[in-house]
């Protein structure tokens, strides 16, 4: 979501501040009671740094401070720079799931600090090319329950990326405010980026099954698509799709899959971060309905699924398995200009041969509000 927010042009007046708060939780009730939640504060000062914005963001264990959209070259180029840190819960490495069930003694704590610069070029209508140059330092420590699991070495990582985005979304910029965890899409947006991670330290870690044995250089290509269509006044279809292929990755860098929080590749019913994979194709289709045309509220059904490598998390990186799920949802908005948003999911993971102890039942609740 942060990638998408960074691409939406601001319509606020210069030297104007906006802020939002929000939070939520994604919890499984079956086959075991597990889950995670989050709280956030987001504030953007438009035009307070030259002609650019100052972005201040806190989300649970993450702090982000950035300068965004410093425009030049007749608004054809924009510069971004930010600092970020996350403590203990980075990449949810504390939660280790294998075939859908949690193994507490394989979880560990992960933290990082990061500095990054980004340059965007707007060569034509709806199009963006960008270069990112992040430098990150990772460090790891056990939880007190960690046992029989070799932790990765602390390391520096240089993570350059180059990307392309096509953005043709018919929605106000307010739709991408931080408290709107599930934007309503009309139009099409897609992106692809690739690059590498160069680490100062590498080597096998984990349980010596070959799954986590990265080299000093890791290669990644990631792709996403979001699209929505309003076919009739009361009905809207929305599709979200993700693709990824990595070489030499480990569980630090792989995609987080499972649950329906806004920070994962969603699979309804599965635990949040129940799958960790670098090679995947996945999609979610949403059928959104309003009770009447003037209503700000939507409800409907989500169906998601995909194919992922090493679904049993045993080091067989060349093997693939599928999974999917279905969720019922309500997306409620209240107040002037839809200032408040309440989102509820009830989801079910479809049975598949590699998941243990079905059924997989989960719920999600989020609330967000624009402060000013």
pLDDT in tens, 89-141: 999 999 999 999 999 999 999 999 999 999 999 999 999 999 999 999 999 99
Q: What percent of the chain has pLDDT over 70?
A: 97
Q: Which two tokens stand for residue 279?
A: 């090679």
CB 72 within 8 A of CB 80: no
Does the pLDDT of residue 182 top 50, yes or no? yes
Cα separation, 61 vs 186, whole angstroms: 32
Average pLDDT over residues 43-52: 94
pLDDT of residue 26 exceeding 60, the answer is: yes
The DSSP letter of residue 7 is: T
Q: Which helix (H) or strand (E) holds 5?
A: helix 2-5
β pairing state of 77-86 and 108-121: antiparallel
Q: What are the tens digits of pLDDT across the range 219-231?
A: 999 999 999 999 8
User: What whole-number distance in Å separates Cα of residue 201 and Cα of residue 148?
Assistant: 21
Query: What is residue 1's predicted lDDT score, i.e. its pLDDT?
Result: 43
- How far apart, in whole angstroms, are the C-alpha atoms of residue 281 and residue 244? 7
Q: Decide: 141 and 100 in contact? Cβ < 8 Å.
A: no
pLDDT at 171: 83
Q: Above 70 in pLDDT, residue 278? A: yes
- Go through the domains of the chain in sequence order and give each one's CATH number: 2-370 (2.40.160.50)
- Using a 10 angstrom Cβ sphere, with 0-12 exposed, 13-18 middle and 19 or more buried, the burial of residue 13 is exposed
Neighbouring residues of 185: CB distance < 8 A, sequence distance ≥ 6: 169, 171, 226, 227, 228, 238
How far CA 258 is from CA of 68, 105, 286, in Å, comes to 31, 21, 16
Q: Is the pLDDT of residue 5 over 50?
A: no
Residue 41: predicted pLDDT: 98
Tell me how far apart the alpha carbons of residues 287 and 267 are, in angstroms, rounded to a whole number: 16
* Residue whose token pair is 């194709």: 281
| 3-class DSSP string for 23-89 | EEEEEEEECCCEEEEEEEEEEEEEEEECCEEEEEEEECCEEEEEEEEEEECCCCEEEEEEEEEECCE
The distance from CA 40 to its chain's CA centroid, rounded to whole angstroms, is 14
Q: How much is the pTM?
A: 0.93
3-class DSSP state for residue 347?
A: strand
pLDDT at 2: 43
The tokens for 349 are 């993971």
d(CA 158, CA 141): 21
pLDDT in tens, 239-262: 999 999 999 999 999 999 999 999
pLDDT category at 174 given cuts 50, 70, 90 is confident
Please, which pLDDT band fits residue 356 given cuts at 50, 70 and 90? very high
CA R_g for the chain: 20
- 301 C-beta neighbours (distance < 10 Å), count: 14
Whether 12 shows a pLDDT value over 70: the answer reads: no
CA pair distance 39, 2, nearest whole angstrom: 15
Which residues are CB-neighbours of 294 under 8 A, at least 6 positions away? none
């Amino acid at each position: 979501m942060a990638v998408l927010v960074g691409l939406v042009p601001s319509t606020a007046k210069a030297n104007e501040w906006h802020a939002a708060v929000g939070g939520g939780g994604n919890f499984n009730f079956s086959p075991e009671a597990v889950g995670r939640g989050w709280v956030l504060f987001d504030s953007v000062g438009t035009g307070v740094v030259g002609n650019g914005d100052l972005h201040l963001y806190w989300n649970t264990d993450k702090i982000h401070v950035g300068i965004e959209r410093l425009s030049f070259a007749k608004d054809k180029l924009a510069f971004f720079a930010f600092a970020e840190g996350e403590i203990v819960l980075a990449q949810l490495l504390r939660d280790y799931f294998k075939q859908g069930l949690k193994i507490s003694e394989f979880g560990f704590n992960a933290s990082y600090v990061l500095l990054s610069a980004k340059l965007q070029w707007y060569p034509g209508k709806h199009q963006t090319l960008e270069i990112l140059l992040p430098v990150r330092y990772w460090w790891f420590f056990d939880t007190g329950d960690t046992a029989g699991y070799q932790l990765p070495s602390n390391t520096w990582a240089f993570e350059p990326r180059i990307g392309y985005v096509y953005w043709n979304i018919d929605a106000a910029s307010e739709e991408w405010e931080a408290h709107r965890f599930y934007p309503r899409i009309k139009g099409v947006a897609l992106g692809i980026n690739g690059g590498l991670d160069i680490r100062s330290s590498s080597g096998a870690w984990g349980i010596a099954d070959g799954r986590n044995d990265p080299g000093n250089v890791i290669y990644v290509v990631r792709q996403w698509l979001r699209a929505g269509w309003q076919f009739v006044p009361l009905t809207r279809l929305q599709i979200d799709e993700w693709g990824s292929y990595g070489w030499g990755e480990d569980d630090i860098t792989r995609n987080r899959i499972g649950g329906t929080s806004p920070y994962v590749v969603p699979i309804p019913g599965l635990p949040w971060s129940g799958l960790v994979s670098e090679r995947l194709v996945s999609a979610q289709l949403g059928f959104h309905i309003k009770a009447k045309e003037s209503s700000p509220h939507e409800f409907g059904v989500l169906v998601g699924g995909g194919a992922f490598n090493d679904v049993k998390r045993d080091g067989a990186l060349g093997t693939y398995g599928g999974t999917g799920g279905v969720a019922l949802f309500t997306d409620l908005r209240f107040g002037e200009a839809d200032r408040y948003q309440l989102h509820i999911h009830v989801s079910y993971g479809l049975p598949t041969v590699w998941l243990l102890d079905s059924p997989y039942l989960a719920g999600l609740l989020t609330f967000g509000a624009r402060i000013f």
